[in-house]
Amino acid sequence: MAAIRLIAGLGNPGPRYERTRHNVGAVFVANLASRFGIALALDARFKARIGRGSLLGHDVRLMIPDTYMNLSGEAVGPVCAFYKIAAEAVLVAYDEMAFEPGVVRLKVGGGDNGHNGVRDVIRGLGNDAGFVRLRIGVGHPGDASLVSGYLTGTKMPKEDADRVLAALDIPESTFEHLLDGAINKAMNELHAPREGTD
């Protein structure tokens, strides 16, 4: 795989959606920006907050689309086109209901699995689904009819939010493999049981 040149965190803009489950991808990128001292500024051309800096010696752009989730490709696509970033050099972080809070998983390529943001990123990249995904567990409400409110209508309970934040603190060695494009090494480390878990 190619080295990662762009990390995009998906979510919905505005205070109404802060701390909702659908915004955990945006939280991941905001935390990275803080961790590595990268300022994110709104760039109207790209409908996103964007910053550029060194992540463990890698020149990487961070972005949080300023679009609604289902229009995420309107931000990611133009950034990749302008900076000539191939889909395989992009990491997209987003919420995943298939996993419980505190679980994060890497995946390369595949379909959108019903996720509107991922679907639009694929569209925005010219139907190239070959990007790397960081799937951040948020749990499932148990009934399909409750999904919309569960993801966007209520804030995450503190216990769940704390689990998510702990999981997003990816160890430096794992993150370095990811940035290098050594996705299998990163997966092996990230997916291994953490100390104190089964």
Ordered strands of the 132-137 beta sheet: 41-43, 48-55, 58-65, 6-9, 90-96, 132-137, 104-108
d(CA 125, CA 71): 12
Please tell me which residue in 22, 115, 140, 177 is annotated as part of the active site.
Answer: 22
The letter for the amino acid at 156 is M
Instruction: Give alpha helix (H) positions in the chain.
Output: 24-35, 73-83, 116-124, 147-148, 158-168, 172-180, 183-191
- Alpha-carbon gap, residue 84 to 190, rounded angstroms: 29
Catalytic residue list contains 22: yes
Helix, coil or strand: residue 71: helix
**CA-to-CA distance for 164 and 101, rounded, in angstroms?**
5
- How far apart CA 97 and CA 45 sit, in angstroms, is 32
Q: What is the DSSP string of 138-153?
A: ----SSGGGHHIIIII
Q: Give the residue numbers marked as catalytic.
A: 22
